Structure 1
């Protein structure tokens, strides 16, 4: 049904080649990056001791909303390498067809760019870099 690539032998530790990465659309990268970001947020909140039902859910929603992601993305832009900045720009230029009512198109584009970057870093096998950028994002006021 699906064509397997060698990286699919260990889905927690994927490392795609540059050619394989270029073959994934910005929307595809953002789709994965959205999950990466949400997993990091949930892990962060649990480790921080906010693991209570409704409060945990609300805290997660506040951090994963497009507006919050856009603010945090702005905080890490100066830290990005040229290659990362290019992926970020590519994600920001992705053609999204719907924008949530609570976010502006600009905020949603920034959030999509951040998610594309996180998806790209994840598929590149650069988990340490994801961690470093995420920790910087969590220092940003939100």
Structure 2
């Protein structure tokens, strides 16, 4: 039986996933990291926990987080990031600019790629940098 918590795709399999597909996965990975971080750090409780999560997964916040880690990315990671940034998205939330939304999509694509490629520690290390205050 396959362990779906420990997915590890090959480079060829990862290349076969669209940038939107990677961002779709990365959106879930990023939100899971945020939810865990909030619980671990006791930042909020009850209804406040949900509101805190929303604030941290919004495109504006993700775009700001991405700026923190860009200098740390490898060439391969930068290529995935650029691929995600260039994804053709058709609807942008009113609270975010097109640039913010593109950067957030790039960040999500990167996190999706890292997760699906089995690079969970790298995703965790980058997330730590993003969450530093």
Give the TM-score normalised by structure 2.
0.97
Which of 12, 16, 28 aligns to 1:19? It is: 12
Question: In the TM superposition, what whole-angstrom CA distance separates every residue of 1:41-86 from its partner, at most 9, and x where no partner exists?
Answer: 0000001113411111111111000000000001000000000000
**Structure 2 spans left out of the alignment, 5+ residues:** none
Aligned to 2:128: 135
Question: C-alpha displacement at 1:9, in angstroms?
Answer: 1.4
Q: Are 2:52 and 1:47 aligned?
A: no
Aligned to 1:5: none
Q: In 2, distance between residues paired with 1:128 and 1:78?
A: 18
Which of 102, 121, 130 aligns to 2:114? It is: 121
Runs (4 or more) in structure 1 with deviation over 3 Å come to none
Question: C-alpha displacement at 1:126, in angstroms?
Answer: 0.3
Q: In 2, distance between residues paired with 1:14 and 1:32?
A: 12
Which of 60, 63, 73 aligns to 1:80? It is: 73
Q: Name the Cα RMSD after superposition.
A: 1.1
**Structure 1 spans left out of the alignment, 5+ residues:** 1-7
- How many residues are aligned here? 133
Q: In 2, distance between residues paired with 1:132 and 1:57?
A: 24
Q: Are 2:51 and 1:68 aligned?
A: no
Q: In 2, distance between residues paired with 1:89 and 1:9?
A: 31
